[in-house]
Amino acid sequence: MDKFYEAFSLYRKRHFEKCAAVCTELLEKNPYDQAAWTLKMQSLTAQVMVDDIEAQEEGIADTLLDSETIAQAARPGTSLKTGANPTTAAGMRPRGATGRPLSGMVRPATQTGRATSLENALKTPRTARSARPVTSQAARTIRLGTASMMTQPDGPFIQITRLNLAKYATTEGIAKPLFLYIFYHENDVRNALDLAVEATKAAQFKDWWWKVALAKCYTTLGLTRDAEQQLRSALKQVPTIDAYLRLANLYTKLDQPLNVLELCTAGLQLFPNEVTLSQEIARVLEGLNNIPASVRYYREILNEDSTHVEAIACIAVNYFYCDQPEVALCFYRRLLQMGIYNAELFNNIGLCCYYAQHYDMMVNCFERALSLAAEETAAEVWYNVSHIAIVSSL
């Protein structure tokens, strides 16, 4: 079998490590084989590439050094940070540290507390984990490289700083895989931005893909308004779900929930019944304390995707706080049947069993929750157990 065909077959089967190894053998025979070079880039990128639309959390620079703030006191119903007056159906739902009502799913930047000053933020133990670096280097990406396409046996694959980015930006089959490799594998945002700028010029500003790539770099560097401009331009050329979601996340970061609702509603007109867009609307409505409307969108999501975990969990939470634990228990059992097996789920099932007067199942659920719980989660489970013990003794 031809070696390159074998490598391509391994890539299609998602055996990325084996694919990279075969490409390395090809490059040892011919260091200037662009096909093998590009395929190895794609296999290395696929090993570390994640869905970065929801992977970013707000750090210290985003919360305390925010230069996009227009008004300190937003009008009611226009900010996710200040919240809104609770509705009748969810008036007793507790709130998290950020002031938002508790949701059925833990999402980025919804459960962590917001520091009121830089001094307080530096004192918190969460700072080292939640602060997003503003530079283009990370601990796992500080490495040296080769001088050209030639690969050294004991060295890294590519030396990005010595690449002629303007040359590769004009090569259609290499430019996009090279950008993804630099952005995701090397985490070198500045060089990825330079490549995207050169490629956008080479495409005469008509390629929507490169505009979304520019928005990715601008977002990582904290240039929110520049990212918004690029995404708006990309949507005018070719409307895509990825661009809608990235722009919606930008507006969420800028605390403009009404713009998120307007944007996602317009996206649903072009992509009817799209689950991800409906999910963004449901999240924003939940953050604005409009729980009935949020649950309505989550129900629409379940009509399209009956295995959507977030929708099932959020509807279950709504039923629980609306004094219908029996119905909430059905949804939580559905999550258990889908293979979700953690302490939080067993804790919620135990609470539903207690309020539904299924005392025989309650004890087993809390025991299972404690056996699976980590240190922080165990404290919350013990709190619920102690609360039940106190109430039962009265």
Number of domains in the chain: 4
- In this predicted structure, the answer to whether residue 56 has a pLDDT above a threshold of 70 is no
- Residue 170 is assigned to a structural domain of this protein: yes
pLDDT of residue 101: 66
d(CA 164, CA 124): 43
pLDDT per residue as tens digits for the range 306-321: 999 999 999 999 999 9
Same-domain status, 210 and 253: no
Instruction: Tell me which of 248, 276, 305 is where a domain ends.
Output: 305
In Å, how far are 35, 103, 178, 231, 263 from 249, measured between CA atoms? 36, 18, 25, 11, 11
Q: Which of 107-111, 352-356, 388-392 has the lowest mean pLDDT?
A: 107-111
Say yes or no: 134 and 218 in one domain: yes
Residue 151 has pLDDT above 70, yes or no: no
CATH number for the domain spanning 264: value is 1.25.40.10
Give pLDDT, residue 140: 31
The reply to whether 285 and 338 lie within a common domain is no
Per the structure, the complete domain to which residue 142 belongs is given by 128-222
* pLDDT band, residue 55 (cuts 50/70/90): low
Supply the pLDDT for residue 90.
44
Residue 248: band (very low, low, confident or very high) from pLDDT cuts 50, 70, 90: very high
Are 291 and 314 in a shared domain?
no
Q: Is 88 helix (H, G, I), strand (E, B) or coil?
A: coil
Instruction: Indicate if 314 and 394 belong to the same structural domain.
Output: yes
Buried b / exposed e along 158-169 (16+ C-beta atoms within 10 A): bbbeebebeebb
Per-residue pLDDT band at 32 (split at 50, 70, 90):
confident
Do both 332 and 343 map to the same domain?
A: yes
Residue 123: the pLDDT is 46
pLDDT tens track for 88-144: 444 456 766 655 667 776 766 555 544 445 455 444 343 333 333 333 333 333 332
Compute the C-alpha angle 335/340/346, nearest 5°: 80
The pLDDT assigned to 135 comes to: 33
> Which are the contacts of 381, defined by CB distance < 8 A and separation ≥ 6?
343, 347, 366, 369, 370, 373
Q: Any residues with CB less than 8 A from the CB of 254 and at least 6 apart, and which?
A: 68, 224
Whole-number pLDDT of residue 124: 39
Assess if residue 87 is contained within a domain. no
What would the pLDDT profile of 62-89 be if each residue is shown by its tens digit?
A: 554 555 555 556 666 667 766 555 444 4
The verdict on 298 and 312 lying in the same domain is: no
Q: What number is the average pLDDT over the span 316-329?
A: 93
Domain end position, chosen among 48, 72, 87: 48
Q: Is residue 77 part of a domain?
A: no
Residue where a domain terminates, one of 190, 222, 254: 222
Amino acid, res. 26: L
Q: Is residue 316 part of a domain?
A: yes
User: For residue 195, is it within any domain?
Assistant: yes
Q: Is residue 227 part of a domain?
A: no
Confidence (pLDDT) at 82: 62
CB 118 within 8 A of CB 60: yes
Predicted confidence at residue 155, as pLDDT, reads: 59
The answer to whether residue 231 is domain-embedded is: no
Judge whether 236 and 247 are in contact, CB under 8 Å. no
pLDDT band of residue 277 (cuts 50, 70, 90) is very high
> Of how many residues is the chain composed?
394
pTM of the model: 0.79
Q: Do the domain assignments include residue 86? A: no
Residue 128 or 228, more confident: 228
> Does 250 lie in the same domain as 198?
no
**Is residue 167 within a helix (H) or strand (E), and if so which, with residue range?**
helix 165-169
Q: What are phi and psi for residue 357, nearest 5 degrees?
A: 65, 35
In a shared domain, residues 156 and 194: yes
Percent of the chain beyond pLDDT 90?
56
Does 251 share its domain with 326? Answer: no
Q: Report whether pLDDT(354) > 60.
A: yes
**Is the domain of 283 the same as that of 318?**
no
pLDDT value, residue 267 = 95
Distance CA 175, CA 210 (A): 10
Indicate whether 217 and 247 sit together in one domain.
no
Per-residue confidence at 147, pLDDT binned at 50, 70, 90?
very low
